[in-house]
């Protein structure tokens, strides 16, 4: 665990380098053992200061926009592209970069297929299976705009070599195994014609307690049934699971009729929006989430910019620094400068030394607006 007072300026996203290397070692081992390919998804984590390390492990990267493709291409051997709908002014450039391009609909495929030269083409499908409880994150909810349904794919269109699914979110191996069962049930007539199958993200293989034995047996059995298919996984969170923190400072303590709020120099709305969207309260070093206790309050003027109810081992004081755990994935990539609040520093803790790799000021705010 890092010393929060070693951080030169707060708030700061701090990557623990050795924890990252541990995750990469496991993912690399799984790839070698099963001849499957793990792709790194930029949508969850785009800290390019460690892209060389990620590229040394991942088979390639996945991008959902031209900006992500441009950021990934100097580092990763392959760039796989998927977007719910491609921006017309971006697609030509994406097609020059990407080795694999997935389309969300047949309309998109027919519109853009003639612009592609050399890339392997695929379609996103709805596997009709999901265990995601939060509707905002469920790609298989009724009326979903993401992916084709079985009745739309009686045959594989000419020129399509792969299928792509993404239905999981921080899920276990049992959900991956059930996804394969549903795929074979609804799309089995297409599988022997495929070159590749992308099982998307949500496979949290680096989480403690993940059933790696079930992962192994499920993948092995599927590959035996379908030896023609190259399997891709793109679990962005798994690469950086529990690899870092957000370090913040208590600036004030506000009491209001039985509620006590620690006012922080960070914002959940601006810096950790997933906490409000999911919602969830992040784990905090030296505290437990309980029925009643201290709230953590953000620095924006949004009334709902607060989370949780924490009991602290030691009574918090103004000036204390708090360490919010597992704040690498879906944090930095979702930050905003609402209220003009400066973005947190981005830093790395390696071999006991801390270094800032990016800090933000007025120039960043000004450039984002006109």
Write out the residue range of the structural domain in which residue 254 sits.
4-14+244-327+335-367
Total count of domains within the chain: 2
Please report whether residue 296 resides in a domain.
yes
Token pair, residue 130, equals 């999901």
Please determine, for residue 346, whether its predicted confidence score (pLDDT) is greater than 90. yes
Residues 356 and 223 in one domain: no
User: Are residues 252 and 219 part of one domain?
Assistant: no
Same domain, 250 and 225: no
Q: Of 188, 206, 240, which residue is a domain's last?
A: 240
Do 130 and 253 share a domain, yes or no?
A: no
Q: Which helix (H) or strand (E) holds 24?
A: helix 17-34
Distance CA 185, CA 39 (A): 26
Q: Which of 224, 240, 256 is the last residue of a domain?
A: 240
pTM: 0.95
Do residues 116 and 228 share a domain? yes
pLDDT at 49 over 90: yes
Q: Is residue 41 part of a domain?
A: yes
In a domain, 22, yes or no: no
Please provide residue 54's backbone torsions phi and psi, each rounded to the nearest 5 degrees: -65, -40
- CATH number of the domain encompassing residue 356: 2.40.37.10
What pairs with residue 347 in β-bridges?
14, 356
Residue 291's pLDDT is 74
Given a cut of 90, whether residue 2 has pLDDT beyond it is no
**Same domain membership, residue 193 and residue 93:** yes
The CATH number of the domain holding residue 227 is 3.20.20.10
Q: Which pLDDT tens digit goes with each residue over 54-101?
A: 999 999 999 999 999 999 999 999 999 999 999 999 999 999 999 999
If you average pLDDT over every residue of the chain, what do you get? 96
């Amino acid at each position: 665990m890092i010393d929060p007072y070693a951080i030169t300026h707060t708030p700061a996203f701090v990557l623990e380098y050795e924890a990252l290397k541990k995750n990469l070692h496991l993912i690399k081992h799984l790839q070698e053992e099963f001849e499957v390919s793990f792709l790194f998804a930029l949508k969850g984590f785009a800290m390019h200061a460690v892209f060389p390390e990620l590229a040394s492990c991942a088979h390639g990267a996945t991008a959902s926009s031209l900006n992500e493709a441009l950021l990934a291409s100097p580092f990763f051997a392959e760039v796989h592209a998927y977007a719910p709908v491609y921006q017309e002014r971006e697609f030509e450039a994406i097609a020059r970069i990407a080795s694999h391009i997935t389309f969300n609909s047949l309309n998109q495929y027919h519109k853009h297929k003639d612009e592609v030269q050399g890339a392997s083409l695929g379609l996103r499908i709805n596997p009709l299976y999901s265990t995601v409880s939060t509707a905002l994150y469920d790609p298989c909810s009724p009326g979903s705009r993401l992916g084709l349904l079985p009745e739309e794919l009686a045959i594989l269109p000419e020129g399509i070599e792969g299928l792509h699914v993404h239905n999981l979110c921080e899920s276990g191996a049992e959900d991956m195994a059930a996804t394969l069962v549903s795929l074979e049930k609804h799309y089995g007539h297409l599988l022997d014609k495929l070159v590749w199958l992308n099982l998307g993200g949500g496979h949290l293989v680096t989480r403690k307690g993940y059933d790696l034995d079930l992962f192994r047996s499920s993948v092995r059995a599927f590959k035996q049934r379908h030896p023609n298919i190259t399997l891709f996984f793109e679990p962005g969170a798994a690469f950086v699971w529990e690899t870092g923190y957000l370090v913040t400072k208590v600036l004030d303590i506000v009491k209001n009729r039985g509620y006590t709020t620690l006012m922080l120099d960070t914002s959940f709305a601006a810096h950790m929006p997933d906490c409000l969207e999911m919602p969830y309260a992040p784990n905090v070093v030296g505290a437990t989430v309980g029925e009643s206790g201290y709230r953590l309050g953000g620095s924006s003027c949004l009334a709902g910019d607060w989370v949780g109810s924490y009991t602290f081992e030691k009574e918090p004081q103004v000036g204390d620094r708090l360490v919010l755990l597992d704040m690498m994935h879906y944090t930095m990539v979702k930050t905003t400068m609402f209220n003009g609040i400066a973005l947190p520093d981005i830093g790395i803790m390696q071999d006991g030394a801390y270094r800032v790799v990016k800090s933000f000021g007025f120039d960043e705010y000004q450039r984002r607006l006109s």
